[in-house]
Amino acid sequence: EKDFSLGVEWQGIKTFSYDGKNAGAFAGSSPSNFSTLSGITKGALPNGFSMGVISEAIEIAGVKFPNLAAVVNAYQQDRDVHILSTPQILTTDNEEAEIMVGKNVPYQVRQETTDAQLNYSSYEYKDVGVTLKITPQISQERFVRLKIFEEVTRLVDDSVLSTTGRPETWKRMAQTTVIVSDASTVVIGGLIGDETTTKDYQVPCLGSLPLLGWLFKGTSKNRQKTNLFIFLTPRIIQNPAEARKIYLDKKEQIETIKEGVIKMYDKPKPKPLADETPKIKR
């Protein structure tokens, strides 16, 4: 997900007092959210690069403004989310199996106020993560008929969960039936989404002027690209030897991952200094 915002906003404000001193300032979180320039909140400056100009009293069309403010804001954000999940489950012929990898998230479903002016809320818990349901049917030729249901959900913004109690979730689901041979991989779903949103805001007439129009308008662009692919590999186990082989393969994969993580976080050892002592030949 990529966000980009650029714009200029003007507004007349009044002089106000902050900590016993007269001051003028701006606050907001984006170029289009400067709802008021007549107050100041510590730590409430916009994201990205922001620059403000506050002048003395000015008179426009017979109306006297105590102050005139201009705010320039440039903001760009890149957010990449890469989720790789490999859930595995063991089951018997013609028996449904289910596995869920994720967390249980509370959703606020009800909020009321009692006669004593006490607020209370009711919550329900829902699973957020990767859910896999599968029912295999094995043939004598070592082919497997798979009835598959897979769902991938995640929170769009973790901060909303702690503030409002009504989080927004991103969800993808695939349900199908396939026939595949033992130890073969099948792709049961693929989705590529590319969504671009552009918002423009400007002062009427002034924002349409060539070149100078950028002093009276702003633009915001958001691009969100989503790729989702689901791969499934069934393996038939008919004796303890086949089960042990799969166990050893998975153990080797885990050891490889652990070694990679250790190398990632280990600090490189300093190289020994070369011996610069001059050598005397005899």
pLDDT per residue as tens digits for the range 26-37: 433 334 444 434
Strands 16-18 vs 21-23: parallel, antiparallel or unpaired = antiparallel
Comparing CA positions, the residue from 163, 155, 134 lying closest to residue 234 is 134
**pLDDT tens per residue, range 107-151:** 777 777 777 777 777 888 888 888 889 999 998 888 999 999 988
- The single residue listed with the structure tokens 């599968």 is 134
- The single residue listed with the structure tokens 């671009």 is 196
Instruction: Give the C-alpha separation, 177 to 192, whole Å.
Output: 22
Give yes or no for residue 7 having a pLDDT over 80: no
**pLDDT tens per residue, range 186-206:** 887 766 677 788 877 777 777
**pLDDT tens per residue, range 38-82:** 444 444 444 544 555 555 555 555 655 555 555 566 666 666 655
Beta bridge partners of 193: 226
φ, ψ dihedrals at 275, nearest 5°: -75, 110
Q: Is 164 exposed, middle or buried (0-12, 13-18, 19+ CB in 10 A)?
A: exposed
Comparing CA positions, the residue from 137, 151, 142, 146 lying closest to residue 176 is 146
In a 13 Å sphere around the CA of 261, the CA atoms on its Cβ side amount to 6
Q: What is the mean pLDDT of the chain?
A: 71
Encode burial over 108-139: b for 16+ CB neighbours within 10 A, e otherwise: eeeeeeeeeeeeeeeeeeeebbbbbbbbbebe
Distances (CA, A) of 185 to 26, 179, 188, 252: 58, 11, 10, 20
Alpha-helical runs (H) found in 2-41: none
Contact in structure between 75 and 21 (CB atoms under 8 Å): no
Contact in structure between 178 and 160 (CB atoms under 8 Å): no
Q: Is 204 helix (H, G, I), strand (E, B) or coil?
A: coil
**pLDDT tens per residue, range 149-162:** 988 888 877 665 55
3-state DSSP helix/strand/coil % of the chain, to nearest 5: 15, 50, 35
CA dihedral 91, 96, 102, 103 (to 10 degrees): -120
